[in-house]
Structure 1
Amino acid sequence: MTPATTMDPARPFGRVLTAMVTPLAEDGTIDLAGAQELAAHLVDRQSHDGLVVFGTTGESPTISDGEQHAVLEAVLDAVGDRALVIAGVGTNDTAHSIDKAQSAARLGVHGLLVVTPYYNKPPQAGLLRHFTAVADATDLPVMLYDIPPRSVVPIEVDTLVRAAEHPNIVAVKDAKGDFGALMQTLARTDLAYYSGEDMLNLPLLATGAVGVVSVVGHLVGTRLAELIAAVEAGDLARAREVNDGLLPVYTGIFRTQGTIMVKAALRELGLPSGPVRPPLVDATEEQVAQLRVDLAAGGVVL
């Protein structure tokens, strides 16, 4: 039985997911063997229920459709029998997003992540049309990605309520930080919320999120699982204790762009990562030195 057939409607993508980096060779080409090794590490040693492949942390803006196809196929082969593989297919072009969704579905992914269209600033009616068009394109469950710091346009509560009427739109990755909107959406829909901003994991979980789509999960997945378990048990004192221990990790990874720093950390740990692609730039020696200090304070020794 595949993970896709055992989804819990209350948390359709599990509890602990990471927006996985895309390992690259030193010449900037895709490292497929590295992607498989990293995926297996996250699932087998970091307590992951699933992986989001080609979220922003996976450098999706600089990945070709052919490269995405190859990596998804490789990750599915490595862990698809024991973890959910969620494909990031959202772009700011609805037709292209539909093509990517259908291609991912043919490969056998378990779900889709669809980000708010960026740069072109669509109105709320355009967002709803975009999301439902992509959701119509396959039978897969869809997680919307609400991240106005990158997309500029937030998904408003009324838009989320209408989107939730679509049977395939089942979840939201929230990186908006608007707790009022979160509570209103939870009260008016059955959407499952996932924290998409690590520094806000605890308050989002305490407010009603069912899991995380993390960046620091590359390094501390088992501790995120412990955090979620404590919240679910109603032990907020324990949850805060776990979260306090993670604060230096959050700080270290997000001192600059998260992909840059988590790839640096993975390199230091001897795990597949490789360089970033332009326009990103790799961490400097000084940044890596500070990262070692931050992570050590959070119990992660590089």
Structure 2
Amino acid sequence: MFKGSYVALVTPMDEQGNVDYQDLEACIEFHVENKTDGIVSVGTTGESATLPFKEHVDVVKSTVDIVAGRIPVIAGSGANSTSEAVFLTEQMEALGVDGFLSVVPYYNKPQQAGMVAHFEAVADATSKPVLLYNVPGRTVADMLPATVAQLAKHPNIVGLKDATGDIQRLKQTQALVPDDFVLLSGDDGSSCEFLEAGGHGVISVTANIVPKAMAEMCKSALNNDFEACRRIDASIEKLHHALFIEPNPVMPKWALYKMQIMKSAMLRLPMVLPELASKKVLEDILIEYGLTK
């Protein structure tokens, strides 16, 4: 369940800042054609923080409809208010999603016991599988391995997206959770190492731009061909770093715009287009990799 390369999909927007559903379809078809294993819709990269509830649900529904069962769709349903996270989860339960990704509540810095209560409430609100998401670089609060292990006892909580970039943290978690508990990297730069250490896949920002490479990297690792995994990772290493020189999803949106997969790189305020120097760095890499001319 939920193994391989899952793209943390951007939410395309037009010049007026409205969701561009035509470009959303173009992005999804790009992933289906390039063998992405699954899609995460309206997570952090999908600008969940600035999409109102109705729009959030509409984007997920459209994603499910466009995918039409060809690959799994995981819906982002995180919030820093437990009642809001539960509400979002309940609203999307019947849309045909294959599961939910729920982030550690941000800003309010819950205790570990608060995280347990939060995620159990979310998992109780659905019959679908739930992936936990730990990204302390954004949320400030850090979900510890012992907390993950406690939550893994819930029948609906099936895995973790770990964006710490800390392989020792992965090993600590592995020692505490069941063998079938899914462990996915949320840090592209260390994802190859994560896979070599026994991770099951990645929820990737880089996959927005090079979906085939990320899918092949994960497939190689899952087949224990770590030499191929490392070779593919090295071939896209510059992209891993360039996509984060400004806060995500600024740079992946700019890349997709330059690749002509999206007509606009527009973001929702308070996010804005990248600085000229950042654009130049990324555009040079896109040319080097043969993704643009």
The bucket for the TM-score relative to the shorter chain is: over 0.9
Give the corresponding residue for 1:35: 24
Task: Indicate if the aligned counterparts of 1:251 and 1:294 stay in contact, CA closer than 8 A.
Answer: no
Q: State how 1:1-302 maps to structure 2 within 5 Å.
A: 12-44=1-33, 46-190=34-178, 191-272=181-262, 273-301=264-292
Contact residue 146 and residue 176 of structure 2 kept, 8 A: no
Superposed CA offset, 1:109-133 (max 9, x none): 1110000000000100000000011
Give the residue type in structure 1 aligned to 2:123.
Answer: A
TM-score if structure 2 supplies the norm length? 0.95
Most deviating of 28-37 and 151-160 = 28-37
AA in 1 matched with 2:270: P
- TM-score between both structures, scaled by the size of structure 1: 0.92
Partners of 2:143 and 2:209 lie apart in 1 by 30
Note the residue ranges of structure 2 that are not aligned, 5 or more in a row.
none
Give aligned pairs, total.
Answer: 290
- Measured in 1, the distance between the counterparts of 2:241 and 2:291 equals 13
CA distance in 2, matches of 1:196, 1:152: 16
Q: Secondary structure at the residue paired with 1:127?
A: helix
Deviation of the 1:152 alpha carbon: 1.1
SS of corresponding position for 2:210 = helix
State the 4+ residue runs in structure 1 displaced beyond 6 angstroms.
Answer: none
Unmatched segments (≥5 aa) in structure 1: 1-11
- CA deviation profile, 1:25-60 (whole Å, cap 9, x unmatched): 11001112221221122122x211211111111111
Give the letter aligned to residue 49 of structure 1: D
Alpha-carbon RMSD across the aligned residues, in angstroms, is 1.4
Measure the CA separation in 1 of the matches of 2:111 and 2:187.
Answer: 24
Q: Report the secondary structure of 1:143's partner residue.
A: strand
C-alpha distance in structure 1 between counterparts of 2:40 and 2:159, whole Å: 13
